[in-house]
Amino acid sequence: MRRGLAWVGALLLLGGCVSSRPIDEIQIIQQMGYDFENGRYTGTAVYPTFKQGPMTKPNMLTTTSPTIYDLIPRLSSKSALPIEEGQLRLILFGKEFARRGVTQITHSLARNNKVGSHLLLGVAEESAKELLKITAKTTLSDTLYLPNLVEQNEQSMNLPKTNLHLFLYRYFSPGSDPFLPYFEKKGDFVKLEGVALFRDDQYVGHVSLRDSFLMKILLGETKNGVYQLKVGNRGKQGEDRVMLQNLWAKPKYEWKRDGRRHVLDVFVHIHASVRDYPSWLDQPGGDLFADVKKKMQNELEHNMRRLFHYFQKKRIDPLGIGDFVRSVTRHWDSDAFYREYPDLDIRPHVTVDIVHTGIGE
Amino acid sequence: MGWFSFWKKKKKRPAQRNLSQLWEKLRQSSDFVEVSFVVGGKELSIYYFDSLVDPQVLQERIFCHLQNDIPQHPNVRLEDLQQIVPIQRIEVSEDTALIEEKVLKGFVAVTFREQPNKAALMGAAAENLGLRENNDSENEFSVVGPKVGFVENVGVNLHLIRRQVVTPNLVFREMSIGSMSKTKVVIAYIDGVANPEVIQTVTQRLESIHFDLVFDNAILDQLLADNSRTPFPLFISTERIDRAIYALVSGQVAIFCDGSPYAVIGPAALFDFFTSPEDYYLPWVLGTFFRLIRFFGVAFSVLASPIYVAVLTYHYEMIPEDLLGPIIYSRSNVPFPPMLEVLFLEITIELLREAGARLPTKVAQTLGIVGGIVIGQATVDAGLTSTILLIVVALAALASFTTPIFKMSNTIRFIRFPFILFAAFWGGIGIIFAVCGLLIHLGRLQSFGYPYLLPFYPFRVRSFRDTFIRSPYSETAERPMFLRPRSRFRYDPNAAKQKRDIDE
């Protein structure tokens, strides 16, 4: 009896120590934007308000501060309910902000147990605030326009997979650099423009969505992505292009020594389907795509080489080549490797198999 | 032992009454009848309770024969009455206590003048007077299978069992329990199947019961229980014949009690409470599916509203983004914290159930509609609870009723409340705590000395054939070994497995 009472007492007393956060008494923020303008940081929070059943309306809170850590407390001073970041789905960095480094944010996120590692990060071409404002204005019922956009593109299009977890992994790994989706404002719309590249935590440049297809393949993500290829010179746009869809691709890296230099051979085997092609290609008899295949291989190889050069010039390694080399090298030295990296001979070899053509799945 | 000590004490009582004192005492009651007459030169007296005796038997068998036949047997003694009166097992006794008990059970006592301290006792009790003749097993209904259930008369129940289990090994052992009710209690088991230790335990437990009135088996159930503080029923009580027989055949022991349409079956494991006889009447795939649904129902019923409380109070991070809108919107007008909201609705549902159970069937139906639809809709409209919670709580209540044994479904609805409190005070970790506490409690329970969590703890792989999965009959020839039956197989396992590809 006494023991039972002690239990109940302990339950009640200890229960008092927990801070409860009933769901309707907090301000859930779902997207956050960070900008750097005129020497001050700007924080933008997008939170949903629920009206008329499941219909939601995104609202925004903005504040500026000379420091980053101060942003959320300052946002709180504008909010009726305590701000909770547990449902964050996307954090958008302005380009200026990203150029100065995002560690302060990501390092805090890495330790924050309320935030899932599935959180998406992104870079906005101009200001994150503007971009969020557009999405808040144009989308009425969908507060998660940007996260859905990213996920959709990762799953079926050219964007390689990114999220907080992968960002932190690539950031902390000595043999790779992180990258994030890159958004641009196009009139009243937001457009995914490609992949923003980072050196350590600083934005250094971006590649187009077309190149991000190559990145996706080179990163070893085996499925999805489309690539357009020019096959002839017949004048009108679209008349001479082939739309290639990646069905299954696998890169294979080989690290070897050639004389005094190191050589990295990259073999990529793509099983592709041709989604759309100009009608003149469709001639009876001949092997329709033998020529297309060859052109594809050449162009892909060419573009990959260009991409590698770009990365080497920028001294960044978003593909994690350092990681691969480490895995085949005893006593790998990161500094020594990256000293050699810009001059590394990287040779892509692409084979394309056209598995089928047409729209049919 | 207890019952016999009571017996001895009474015997030892110094003022041992003689018969005339006994009649004096019984005469206080107006339904006690004393008839004295002289026939063939013999003065005889007949004593009985009018309210207990079947008048037809009394007149046709006893009075008629005593009056007509005694003159032809002038030297008849009490011991010779069996020759005259066509009633089975006439007993002659000098023991006042025995006579008192028998008369109180509906026997007729006959005395002769010349044998003043003896009485012949003839059974003339109206066994079925005022009792139900049949029972359609309404409380444990199943669509397929026999509908006949046990009735209040223990004799009928034994008959029902004996008719289906045609073997001399089926043993009924009778005893009498209750200092006032002297209720006839019968232990049934199959000799050579049930473990003698179990029989021994049951007999001992029953013998050591000190109690005045045994109205129903449910009281015996509690008096027999290994642990009286648990909300869990430790024995199955069933009104279904098939269930009782299945238990006997698996090596369990059944207890019947006069005046109760339920059989108490033990030792029982937790999982026995979630099997329904219907599982065995359906094809095994369907039987298994429905059984799994039932297990899911239990888990859902216990955990649904606690999880609602925990997530809404502490773990908003866990809500999927698509559910966020509906949940927050429906919560936005509710003035209570989630715990009070849940308790309010849970208690409403309990009230409805309790009221429905107390009211006559026809009113109860109306009440169900009024309660379910009107109150539910009104509370939501009034902003006292959220729509989502209404769905959760209603589903949880529904799921708790899938349990075939009524006692267990009560338990399930009861243990939800501590879970809700734990969830409200400690969130998700509180639920884990409560689940652990529940498992510890279940692990410590015993039913007639057998672990309650069998076959999980202790772990018995072979017995899983009939817990989550209702295996086909080719696999269930073996009795559950954790009952330690004396014989291992119910039927020939090899013959059951034989494939009948070709019709010969």
Q: What would the DSSP string read from start to end of B20-42?
A: HHHHHHHTTSTTEEEEEEEETTE
For residue A67, name the pLDDT band (cuts at 50, 70, 90): confident
Between A4-18, A119-133, B350-364, B407-421, the lowest mean confidence (pLDDT) is in A4-18
Radius of gyration of chain A (CA): 25
A-B contacts (CB, under 8 Å): 73
The pLDDT, as a whole number, for residue B2 is 47
Instruction: Compare CB distances from B331 to A23, A30, A87 and report the shortest one's residue.
Output: A23
Please check whether residue B368 is in contact with residue B352, taking contact to mean a CB–CB distance below 8 angstroms.
Answer: yes
Nearest chain B CA: its distance from A85 CA (Å): 9
Provide the mean pLDDT of chain A.
85
Is there a domain that residue B489 lies in? no
Task: For residues B253 and B334, state if they share a domain.
Answer: no
Q: Report the distance separating Cα A94 and Cα B117, nearest Å.
A: 113
Cβ pair B316:A87 closer than 8 A = yes
Are both B93 and B190 inside the same structural domain?
no
Q: For chain B, how many helices (H) and strands (E)?
A: 18, 12
For range B278-299, the mean pLDDT:
92
A14: chain B residues, CB-CB within 8 Å = 425-426
pLDDT in the model for residue A237? 59
Higher pLDDT, A223 or A170: A170
How far is Cα A323 from Cα A317, in angstroms, rounded to an integer? 9
Same domain? B189 vs B100:
no
Residue B282 lies in a domain: no
Q: Please report which residue ranges of chain A form alpha helices under DSSP H.
A: 2-15, 71-76, 95-99, 103-111, 128-138, 145-156, 164-172, 209-218, 290-314, 321-328, 334-340
Q: Which of B235, B268, B301 is the last residue of a domain?
A: B268
pLDDT tens-place string over residues B74-97: 778 888 888 888 888 888 888 888
Alpha-carbon Rg for chain B, nearest whole angstrom, is: 29
Asked whether the beta carbons of residue A23 and residue B337 sit closer than 8 angstroms, the reply is: no
Residue of A nearest to B331 (CA): A24
Residues B204 and B236 in one domain: yes
Note if the bond before A348 is cis, omega within 30 degrees. Answer: no
Could you say which of B312, B426, B427 has the minimum Cβ distance to residue A23?
B312
Can you say whether the dihedral through the CA atoms of A170, A172, A177, A179 is positive or negative? Answer: positive
d(C-alpha A237, C-alpha A228), whole Å: 12
User: CB neighbours (10 Å) of residue B191?
Assistant: 13
Domain carrying residue B425: 288-450
CB interface of A with B, residues 18-77, below 8 Å: 18, 20-24, 26, 28, 30, 48, 50-56
Average pLDDT over residues B156-160: 91
The answer to whether the Cβ–Cβ distance between B328 and A24 falls below 8 Å is yes
H helices present in B108-263, as ranges: 154-164, 196-207, 217-224, 241-250
> What does the pLDDT read at residue B90?
86
- Residues B252 and B232: their CA atoms lie apart, in Å, by 19
Closest-CA distance of chain A to residue B329, Å? 6
ipTM value for the complex: 0.81
B462 lies in some domain: no
B321 and B371, same structural domain? Answer: yes
Q: List the end-to-end C-alpha distance of chain A, in Å, as a whole number.
A: 69
Whether B257 and B319 map to the same domain: the answer is no
pLDDT surpassing 50 at residue A323: yes
% of chain B at pLDDT higher than 90: 32
Q: Which residues of B touch A (CB under 8 A)?
A: 311-314, 316-317, 319, 321, 324-329, 331-332, 334, 337-338, 421-422, 424-427
Where in B50-94 does DSSP place strands (E)?
91-93
Name which of A163-167, A314-318, B373-377 the model is least confident about: B373-377
pLDDT of residue B14: 47
Determine the pLDDT at residue A361: 47
Phi/psi of residue A359, each to 5°?
-80, -25
For residue B429, is it within any domain?
Answer: yes
Instruction: Decide the pairing of beta strands A40-50 and A31-37.
Output: antiparallel
Same domain membership, residue B311 and residue B439: yes
Q: Between A148 and A281, where is the model more confident?
A: A148
pLDDT of residue A238: 54
| A288 confidence band (pLDDT: 50, 70, 90) | low
Residue in this structure with the two tokens 């020529």, named with its chain if needed: A291
A169 burial via Cβ count (<10 Å: 0-12, 13-18, 19+): middle
Residues B173 and B306 in one domain: no
CB of B376 within 8 A of CB of B394?
yes
pLDDT of B6: 52
B450, B469, B487 — which closes off a domain?
B450
| Better pLDDT: B11 or A61 | A61
B321:A144 CB<8 A: yes
- CA atoms A12, A17, A18, A21: torsion sign: positive
Q: For chain B, say whether A287 makes contact (Cβ under 8 Å).
A: no
Best of A3, A7, A50 to mutate (most B CBs within 10 Å, chain B): A50
Angstrom distances, CA of residue B159 to CA of B148, B165, B172, B241: 12, 10, 11, 11
The 3-state DSSP class for residue B221 equals helix
CB–CB contact A30 B314 (8 Å): no
Give the DSSP letter of residue B235: S
Q: State the pLDDT at residue B196.
A: 92
* Least confident segment among A42-46, A146-150, A267-271, B492-496: B492-496
Query: Do B236 and B162 belong together in one domain?
Result: yes
Considering chain B, what percentage of its residues have pLDDT values greater than 70? Answer: 96
Q: In the numeric block, which tokens belong to residue A195?
A: 């992949």
Give me the residue from A23, A51, A116 closest to B316, CB to CB.
Answer: A23
- Shortest Cα–Cα distance, B222 to chain A (Å): 21
Instruction: Measure in Å the smallest separation between the Cα of A335 and chain B Cα atoms.
Output: 41
**Predicted confidence (pLDDT) per residue in B376-424, tens digit:** 888 888 888 888 898 999 899 889 888 888 899 899 989 999 999 999 9
The answer to whether the Cβ–Cβ distance between A15 and B329 falls below 8 Å is no
What are the tens digits of pLDDT across the range B101-146? 888 888 899 888 888 888 888 888 887 777 787 788 878 888 888 8
First to last CA, chain B: 60
**Could you tell me if residue B142 is inside a domain?**
no
pLDDT given at position B134: 79
A26-30, A259-263, B25-29, B52-56: the lowest-pLDDT one: A259-263
Together in a domain, B313 and B414: yes
Residue among A15, A50, A86 whose CB faces B316 most closely = A86
Task: Name every residue whose Cβ is closer than 8 Å to that of residue B373 and which is 6 or more positions away in sequence.
Answer: none
Asked if A345 and A321 touch (Cβ cutoff 8 Å), the reply is no
The answer to whether residue B496 sits within a structural domain is no
B319: closest chain A residue by CA? A87
pLDDT of residue A155: 86
Q: What pLDDT score was predicted for residue B253? A: 94
For residue A22, the chain B residue with the least C-alpha distance is B313
Query: pLDDT digit string (tens) for B317-361?
Result: 888 888 888 888 888 888 888 999 999 999 988 888 888 888 888
8 A C-beta contact, residue B94 and residue B117: yes
Instruction: Give a yes or no: residue B324 inside a domain.
Output: yes
Residues B303, B446, single domain; the answer is: yes
Confidence of residue A58 (pLDDT cuts 50, 70, 90): confident
The confidence score (pLDDT) of residue B273 equals 92
Cα separation of B334 and B390, whole Å? Answer: 12
- Has residue B362 been placed in a domain? yes
Single-letter code of the amino acid located at A42: T
Residues B316 and B427 reside in one and the same domain: yes
Overall residue count recorded for chain A in this entry: 361
Average pLDDT over residues A169-173: 93
For chain B, the domain total comes to 3
Question: From CA B417, how far away is CA B339, in angstroms rounded?
Answer: 10
Q: What's the DSSP call for residue B476? A: -
CA distance A48 to chain B (A): 8
Over 70: is that where the pLDDT of B3 sits? no
For residue A142, pLDDT over 80 is answered with no
Residue of chain A whose alpha carbon sits nearest to that of B325: A54
Phi and psi at A98, nearest 5°, equal -65, -35
| Contact between chains at A18 and B331 (C-beta distance less than 8 A) | no
Tell which of B81, B104, B123 closes a domain: B123
Whether A81 contacts chain B with CB within 8 A: no
| Mean confidence (pLDDT) of chain B | 87
Q: Of residues B302 and A279, which shows the higher confidence score?
A: B302
Neighbouring residues of A62: CB distance < 8 A, sequence distance ≥ 6: A42, A43, A44, A45, A129
Q: Please tell me if residue A14 touches chain B, with a CB cutoff of 8 Å.
A: yes
